[in-house]
């Protein structure tokens, strides 16, 4: 677990990582589709979020579904992501 670290202008690989009390300033946050990272009490300022490898292919697939006119399944996924539980 990464605890209390301040990341500045760094590329941070997220797969399988756990972060607690960390601060990310102008970082490139990269998720490649592996184990989902965890964040507890972290702060983010000006970060870029990048999906790479398997995660990037999943994003490309969602774009394809959208582009062929099947917007409802993609909208349902967006709703699932954005609705609080």
In the predicted model, what is the mean pLDDT of residues 9-19?
98
Which residue from 21, 36, 27 is spatially nearest to 7, judged by alpha carbons? 27
pLDDT tens digits along 37-78: 999 999 999 999 999 999 999 999 999 999 999 999 999 999
Its pTM stands at 0.87
Number of domains in the chain: 1
Write out the residue range of the structural domain in which residue 78 sits. Answer: 2-82
Q: Per-residue confidence at 85, pLDDT binned at 50, 70, 90?
A: low
């Amino acid at each position: 677990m990464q605890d209390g670290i301040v990341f500045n202008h760094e590329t941070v690989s997220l797969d399988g990582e756990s972060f607690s009390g960390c601060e990310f300033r102008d970082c490139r946050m990269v998720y490649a589709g592996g184990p989902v990272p965890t964040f507890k009490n972290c702060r983010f300022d000006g970060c870029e979020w990048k999906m790479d490898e398997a995660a990037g292919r999943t994003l490309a697939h969602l774009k394809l579904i959208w582009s062929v006119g099947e917007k409802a399944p993609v909208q349902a996924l967006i709703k699932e992501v954005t609705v609080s539980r």
